[in-house]
Amino acid sequence: MATDFQRIPVIDIATDGASAEIGRACETAGFFYVTGHGVPAVVVDEVVAAARWFFARPLPEREALDVAGSPCFRGYVPMGITGPGVPRRLLEAFQVMLELGPDDPEVQSGSVMHGPNRWPEANPAFRTALEAYYAAMTGLTDRLLGAFDLDPTYFQPYFRKPLTQLRLLHYPPQPPDEAVQGVEAHTDTGAFTILLQDGTGGLEVRNRGGDWIAATPVPGSFVISIGDMMQSWTDGRFVSTPHRVANRSGRDRISVPFFANPDYGAVAVPLGGDRSRALACGPHVEAAYRAAWPLAERA
């Protein structure tokens, strides 16, 4: 059983002993900050600037890239969009995933999880910034996969053509007494998330006692959260912890989550070896995406 926590640890992953610290954090909070990650500040600054540029565009420009027009869950997610069982959220988003060529077997298979990203034509630098950040997060994902205080080579074979997703999120300011939240209390579906947050704050993590712990922004860091898939994969050793966002700062909030999910065909067998609880990763993520967002028919 996971022990309780009162703070979210900050771990310098460039130091000796970081793997053990990560293991302890995954077993207790299911959340931790990483520093010493080596991601250039310019890459971070440019993706945040790209997000601010996009969400400041006129609504018709954003809606021209509506996710409802994509056959593979890519593009703009308007404010307040809901899916079955998903409450109204006070946020808007732009999302991309791994882009494979049209001749790639995964694309040729017709899977709704593979296909082209959608980009605004007015600003090529927007795409450049997101692709540079995506590449940096892919590298950090590989680094973390080898630092989970387990066999350092165990997870890599499951992330060859991963279902990783990069999202830009904009939370407008909300009145202090506004009932609706940016994002309701939830756990993440996939393996783990790498989150970049601006200095606004608003992310909170629930400990075992039911207290909400503020994930206060730490300059130069990323927040790592364990998802449901990794909890199952590690046979409950790592914990997927509920978290929420409410932006009552009086100003706009930008965050950039990168969802690290394995390949579509990966099967996550709990480390204890119980194959009866094995998780088919691709269908699991696809079901969550279908529940959350509309999907255009393929031509």
Cα-based angle 153, 158, 162 (whole degrees, multiple of 5): 125
Assigned domain for 241 exists: yes
The residues that bridge with 257 in the sheet, in sequence order, are 195
Residue 200 belongs to some domain of the structure: yes
**218: how many CB neighbours lie within 10 A of its CB?**
15
Q: Considering the chain, what is the average pLDDT of its residues? A: 92
Contacts of 151 (CB under 8 A, 6+ apart): none
User: Is 146 inside a domain boundary?
Assistant: yes
Phi/psi at 237 (5° precision): -65, -45
pLDDT tens readout for residues 237-281: 999 999 999 898 899 999 999 999 999 999 999 998 999 999 999
Q: What are phi and psi of 290, to 5 degrees?
A: -65, -35
Residue 52 lies in a domain: yes
Report whether pLDDT(81) > 80: no
Q: Is 299 part of any domain? A: no
Nearest to 265 by CA among 285, 246, 247: 285
Q: Which residue would you say has higher pLDDT here, 261 or 111? A: 261
Query: Three-state SS string across 167-195, please?
Result: EEEEECCCCCCCCCCCEEEECCCCCEEEE
36 in any annotated domain: yes
In a domain, 298, yes or no: no
- Predicted confidence (pLDDT) at residue 87 exceeds the cutoff of 60: no
The residue-averaged pLDDT of 228-243 equals: 96
The range of the structural domain enclosing residue 50 comes to 10-292
- Classify the C-alpha dihedral 133-258-295-246 as positive or negative: negative
pLDDT class of 82 with cuts at 50, 70, 90? low
| Structural domain count of the chain | 1
Rg (CA), the chain: 18
For the chain, give the percent of residues with pLDDT over 90. Answer: 81
CATH number at residue 30: 2.60.120.330
Residue 239 near residue 27 (C-beta atoms within 8 A): yes
Separation CA 203–CA 169 (nearest Å): 13
* Residue 262 to residues 38, 171, 279, Cα–Cα distance (Å): 23, 28, 11
Q: Check residues 49 and 272 and name the one with the higher pLDDT.
A: 49
Q: Is residue 3 included in any domain, yes or no?
A: no
Task: Give the containing element (helix H, strand E) for 49.
Answer: helix 41-55
